[in-house]
A = this chain, B = another copy of it.
Amino acid sequence: MPKLDLSAIAQTNRTGYPPPFDRPVQGRWYRRLAPASGLTAFGASHVVLKPGAWSSQRHWHAGEDEFLVMVSGEAVLVDEDGEQVLRAGDCAAFPMNDGNGHHLQNRSAQDCVFVVVSGGTNQGGDYPDIDMRFTADGGYVHDDGTPYEARRIP
Whole-angstrom distance between the Cβ of A77 and the nearest chain B Cβ:
6
CA distance A84 to B2 in the complex (A): 9
A8 within 8 A of B: no
Q: Which of A3-51 contact B (CB under 8 A)?
A: 3-4, 6, 33-34, 37-42, 44, 46
A74 within 8 A of B: no
CA distance A91 to B96 in the complex (A): 24
A64-107 near B? 1/0 per residue, CB < 8 Å: 11010101100001010110101011111111101010100000
Q: List 25 A-B contacts (CB under 8 A).
A: A2-B77, A2-B92, A2-B93, A2-B100, A3-B92, A6-B91, A33-B91, A33-B93, A37-B93, A38-B95, A40-B95, A41-B64, A41-B65, A41-B96, A41-B119, A42-B42, A42-B117, A42-B119, A44-B67, A44-B117, A69-B69, A69-B71, A71-B88, A71-B89, A119-B119
CA distance A120 to B42 in the complex (A): 8
CA distance A84 to B1 in the complex (A): 8
How many copies of the chain does the oligomer comprise? Answer: 2
Q: Would you call B89 and A39 a contact (CB within 8 A)?
A: no
CA distance A65 to B34 in the complex (A): 10
Whole-angstrom distance between the Cβ of A70 and the nearest chain B Cβ:
9
In the bound complex, residues from chain B placing their C-beta under 8 Å from that of A86 are: 3
